[in-house]
Amino acid sequence: MDKLLIRGGQRLSGEIAISGAKNAALPELCAALLCAEPVTFANVPKLQDVSTTLKVLRHLGATAERRAERDDEVTIDAGRLVTREAPYDLVKTMRASILVLGPLLARFGEARVSLPGGCAIGSRPVDQHIKGLQAMGADIVVQHGYIVAKAPSGKGARPERLRGAKITTDMVTVTGTENLLMAATLAEGETVLENAAQEPEVTDLAVLLNAMGARIDGLGTSRLRIQGVEALHAPAVAHPIIPDRIECGTFLCAVAAAGGDVTLRRTRADHLDTVLDKLREAGVQLECGADWIRVRAEGRPKAVSFRTSEYPAFPTDMQAQFMAVNCIAEGVSRVTETIFENRYMHVNELVRLGAHIAVDGHTAIVEGIPKLSGATVMATDLRASASLVIAGLVAEGETRVDRIYHLDRGYDRMEVKLRALGADIERIK
Ligand SMILES: CC(=O)N[C@H]1[C@@H](OP(=O)(O)OP(=O)(O)OC[C@H]2O[C@@H](n3ccc(=O)[nH]c3=O)[C@H](O)[C@@H]2O)O[C@H](CO)[C@@H](O)[C@@H]1O
Ligand SMILES: C=C(OP(=O)(O)O)C(=O)O
119 flagged as catalytic: yes
Q: Which residues of 340-372 are buried (b: 16+ CB within 10 A; e: fewer)?
A: beebbbbbebbebbbbebeeeebebebebeeeb
Confirm or deny that 424 is annotated as ligand binding.
Answer: no
DSSP 92: T
Confirm or deny that 244 is annotated as ligand binding.
Answer: no
Residue by residue, pLDDT tens for the chain (429 residues) are 899 999 999 999 999 999 999 999 999 999 999 999 999 999 999 999 999 999 999 999 999 999 988 999 999 999 999 999 999 999 888 889 999 999 999 999 999 999 886 556 878 899 999 999 999 999 999 999 999 999 987 666 667 899 999 999 999 999 999 999 999 999 999 999 999 999 999 999 999 999 999 999 999 999 999 999 999 999 999 999 999 999 999 999 999 999 999 999 999 999 999 999 999 999 999 999 999 999 999 999 999 999 999 999 999 999 999 999 999 999 999 999 999 988 999 999 999 999 999 999 999 999 999 999 999 999 889 999 999 999 999 999 999 999 999 999 999 999 999 999 999 999 999
Query: Is the bond into 301 cis (omega within 30 degrees of 0)?
Result: no
In angstroms, the CA 307 to CA 315 distance is: 9
**C-alpha of residue 275 to centroid of ligand 1, in Å:** 19
**C-alpha of residue 174 to centroid of ligand 1, in Å:** 6
**Catalytic residue among 30, 35, 119, 253, which?**
119
Q: Ligand 1: which of 94, 171, 202, 342 to mutate, judged by most atoms within 8 Å of the beta carbon?
A: 171
Asked whether the CA dihedral 163, 164, 169, 172 is positive or negative, the reply is: positive
Side chain identity at 301, as an amino acid letter? Answer: P
CB 235 within 8 A of CB 28: no
The pTM (predicted TM-score) of the whole model is 0.97
**C-alpha of residue 429 to centroid of ligand 2, in Å:** 24
Confirm or deny that 89 is annotated as ligand binding.
Answer: no
Q: Ligand 1: which of 195, 310, 314, 339 to mutate, judged by most atoms within 8 Å of the beta carbon?
A: 339
CB 162 within 8 A of CB 135: no
Q: Which residues contact 143 (CB under 8 A, 6 or more apart)?
A: none
**C-alpha of residue 277 to centroid of ligand 2, in Å:** 23
Tally of CA atoms within 13 A in the half-sphere of 249 that contains its CB: 27
> Which residue's alpha carbon is nearest to atom 6 within ligand 2?
95
In angstroms, the CA 264 to CA 259 distance is: 15
